[in-house]
Structure 1
Amino acid sequence: MAPTSSLAQDERLSCLYAELAELTGQRNAIDGRIVEIVAEIDRGELWAGAGARSVAHLVAWKTGVSPSRAETLAAIAHRADEFPQCVAGLREGRLSLDQVGVIAQRAADGSDEHYAQLAATATVAQLRTALKLAPKPRPEPESEPDPDADPQPEPEPVPQPSVTTTSDEQYTSWHIRLPHVEAATFDAALQSHRDALIADWRRDAEKLGGAGDQRPPMPTVADAFLRLVHAGWDAEAAARPHGQHTTVVVQVDVTDRVGSLHLGPLLSDADRQYLTCDATCEVWFHRDGRTLGAGRSTRTVNRRLRRALEHRDRTCVVPGCGATRGLHAHHLKHWEDGGLTELANLALVCPYHHRAHHRGLITISGPADQLMVTDHAGRPMTSASLARPPTQPPPDVAPCSGPTGERAQWWWYQPFEPPDVNDEG
């Protein structure tokens, strides 16, 4: 009876393998279509109008996948035009999302054909190894010195730090130039603050538990830089002239409702309301050229009111966000329009969505017990994903048995090497 039983198990396993191959091909093809949709959203930057922080955030929010899988989908969508063969393999069901995702996230330009052929047999781990073996970009060769010129020794300049800034209508760009020693100190400080932010991010993820797909994105170097600034904000205030604290000052003309930074540029209506909404800066009001004062103290959310607000809202109130750090107390009826600083007129929002609201990308209206959040088109925003039972048959694609997974002989492997742009031949 043993041979008969073993034969029955083999037949059953073969049937399961066949069904698994067919479903895998269909899943890959569906992922390929999702990538096309995400690419269209990315090209038109439609995610901003939907109230999302990025295209990856929109994908995680609306499809219910994890942030890491959403990053993979966004990476493939962003580079779909650079890897048409790999994306075609995904749409045809031959390649998986993870295989194409590794390529899109790490491969050099022009390597589409190379990795499309390799992915037909290589596992995800083998593709990662192949990408590690790829040569790094080579620096441009320096010009040849003139042999007839007399060599003149030049004294080495003393490294001098420098900071330059450029501004446009929305952003100010900082270019910081530091000697290596000071740069190492700066890098270490940035890294330590980013480590602290990541630790907080992980604690938030653990608290969210099953709702981890709604957590904020991983902290960036820019977040660490801002944390570094705030950490040293008033560390030595007593040593400054008059014990002056670091304060952002805004000047507002109450008649024309025009605001500007102190000794700085004019502010847009959105930025003026953003700065005066959470009372995180010093605002001076003027009428007919006369200074009225620094505004009512009731504009400020005191500590007790802030605690009540945090207990009630816990996270950013915008659906699909889930941010818990650095939240602003937003006036639902703006303070400029007579909105009161009380619990019913306040809501916690993250800095991104606070700016998005004041710039008209989303609308947050109250009172707090009847909170309504809509996107730029007036559509109500909810935390629910778009997933629903399918109403159409699955894609008609060939079954996918996956990569062979055989042991790779790396000494025979020829890594992709970008063509030398300096080679005229």
Structure 2
Amino acid sequence: MTVTAIASKQSDLFDQSSPGGLSDAALTERVVGYAGQIASLTARFLDLLVEFDKRGVWSGEGVRSCAHWLSWRTGLSLRAAQEHLRIAHALHELPQMHAAFAQGRLSYSKVRALTRVATTDREEELVNVALSATAAQVERIVRSVSHIDRRENEADTGRVESSARWQWNDDGTLAVTMRLSPLDGARFLAGVVRSEYESTRTAGDPDLPLPETAPNAPRSAAGSADLWRHVPSNIADAVVAMADTMATVTAMPTYAPGAEIVIHTDADDAGAEPHLDSGPAISETDVDEASCGGSRRTVTHRRGRKDVVLRWGRKRRLPTHTLLRLVSDRDRGCRHPACGRTRHLHAHHVRFWRDGGSTDPDNLIMLCSTHHRALHNGEFTIRAVGDQQFTFHTPSGTAIDTAPTITAPDSWRPDSMIAADAIEPVGGGALDLGYTLEVLYAAWEWRTGQHTTPIAA
């Protein structure tokens, strides 16, 4: 079906008035009204998704999970697909929240936040607060509830779990957030102090402490306790020094993705900015600085080519480190259309070695362990079509698309039962976070029997 035909079929599903011709009031009404419709339709979508997951409709053809199927077939990122599934299953146990969502009274953003802390005992109060709060206020409440719950749980168990996360920012910088247990935190800070000492010591500073055999030997000023620095207020330099130390003292395999700094350049365009592997662009100054380290590798690309084609034919079955690096850099993870996994990968001969397949880029492809096993179990097949290109097929021969076309169902109509202003908060105003949390926890404690008389809200 063409785009024109689809648009014609859907012409009666939506208001087709030109936005530029609407009055301010009409435009406002539609923006708010459509937001409520989106919330309601999203709730319905998540209902369908739960049933879809329970039945296992997504299984087969090497698809590893419902989230991977959803990412492949609907264009969602894997993280977004996993969040949709988490929320869908959580709502199945939260009828009041589900009803408000289906009525377009709670937005997806609010529901996504609430389901992180909501339980059947907490649901009523959380929904009531969310109906009169903005999404930002709901996020603040949920963060505070999570913090209080975690603190109480750690007090009960006497154990703190260390955690750390990282992400590339939009401006190309790397953000790292850590929460360490007391002991792990002390170990980390001790490493920071040692790195600070190593990066700032002068020629007269000692490499090692005085021998234990001479405990009363005189200590120089350079070797005194005053030499040791306290933990610096800005630990960035010390942390980078710690990373550089590990990069130089820890032995790694010849080919170890992620264990070295990989910089990509363009041989045909001197003006093209080099960039980090799966990371942002960097300057030539950064490239020069990285060249001083021992864990950097530069990968040069040529336009219109798949790098240097290395062919080993039937002389050897296992690819060399150079060939493996080339194929890995080309595929950037598992090549199955529904995957994208980047760890635990295997180099697979598309035409099996036992059947005369050669060991070269036209016959090698990277697959994760799950899809490698699924391939050998006959759940899908791969065909090499030349020039290092490959196609995936179901057992019946149907091509498995990399990005299937997304179309809306012809039978859908906006729900006339959703009020035009359903999505708007009721009441609202400034949030007294402390009072809100006090009332919420008082109500929850009373419900669980810790109070014998109701707490007035």
What range describes the TM-score normalised by the shorter chain of this pair?
A: 0.5 to 0.7
Matches within 5 A, 1:85-234: 85-134=96-145, 135-136=148-149, 138=152, 204=278
Q: Deviations over 1:196-254 (max 9, x none)?
A: 79x99x952659xxxxxxxxxxxxxxxxxxxxxxx9xxxxxxxxxxxxxxxxxxxxxxx
The residue number in structure 2 matching 1:398 is 419
Native 8 Å contact 1:320 1:383 kept in 2:
yes
Give deviations 1:315-347, integer Å, cap 9, x for gaps.
532114345566421122334555443434321
SS in structure 1 at match of 2:366: strand
Deviation at 1:106, TM superposition (A): 3.4
Partner of 1:348: 366
Over residues 65-109 of structure 1, what are the superposed CA-to-partner deviations in whole Å (9 max), with x where a residue is unaligned? 344533331221121222222122222212111111111133345
1:41 counterpart = 2:52: yes
Separation in 2, partners of 1:180, 1:410: 28
1:384 to partner: Cα distance: 1.7
Normalising by structure 1, what TM-score? 0.55
Does the 8 Å CA contact 2:380/2:393 hold for their aligned counterparts?
yes
Give the letter aligned to residue 330 of structure 1. Answer: H
Is the contact made by 1:331 and 1:339 (CA closer than 8 Å) also made in structure 2? Answer: yes
Give the whole-Å Cα distance in 2 for the aligned partners of 1:132 and 1:114.
16
Name the CA shift for 1:347/1:78 in 2 (closer, same or farther; >3 Å): same
- What residue is the counterpart of 1:330 in the other structure? 348
Deviation at 1:185, TM superposition (A): 6.2
Q: Structure 1 or 2: larger helix share?
A: 1
Which segments of 5 or more consecutive residues in structure 2 lack a partner in the other structure?
Answer: 1-21, 157-180, 192-238, 247-257, 263-275, 282-294, 296-313, 453-457
Find the aligned partners of 2:155 and 2:187 in 1 and give their Cα distance: 31
Once residues 340 and 112 of structure 2 are traced to their aligned partners in structure 1, the CA distance between those partners, rounded to angstroms, is 26
Deviations 1:29-79 (CA, angstroms, capped at 9, x unpaired): 111121112212332444443644443333333222344533331221121
Give me the CA root mean square deviation.
Answer: 4.4
Q: Paired residues, what number?
A: 288
Identity of aligned residues (%): 28
Q: Distance in 2 between matches of 1:133 and 1:82?
A: 23
Native 8 Å contact 1:314 1:324 kept in 2:
yes
Question: What amino acid does structure 1 have at the position aligned with 2:149?
Answer: K
In structure 2, which of residues 318, 321, 329 is the aligned counterpart of residue 300 of structure 1?
318
Aligned amino acid, residue 28 of structure 1: A
Structure 1 contact 332–346 (Cα < 8 Å) conserved: yes
| TM norm structure 2 | 0.51
Task: Specify which of 407, 414, 424 is matched with residue 388 of structure 1.
Answer: 407
**Distance in 2, Cα, partners of 1:376 & 1:118:** 52
Given that 1:107 and 1:131 are in contact with CA atoms closer than 8 Å, whether structure 2 keeps it comes out as: no
1:57 pairs with 2:68 = yes
Q: Secondary structure at the match of 2:116?
A: helix
Distance change >3 Å, CA 50–CA 76, structure 1 → 2: farther
Q: Is the 8 A contact 1:38 1:77 kept in 2?
A: yes
CA gap of 1:335–1:184, structure 2 versus 1, over 3 A, is farther
Matches within 5 A, 1:215-364: 298-307=316-325, 309-310=327-328, 313-323=331-341, 327-335=345-353, 339-360=357-378, 362-364=379-381
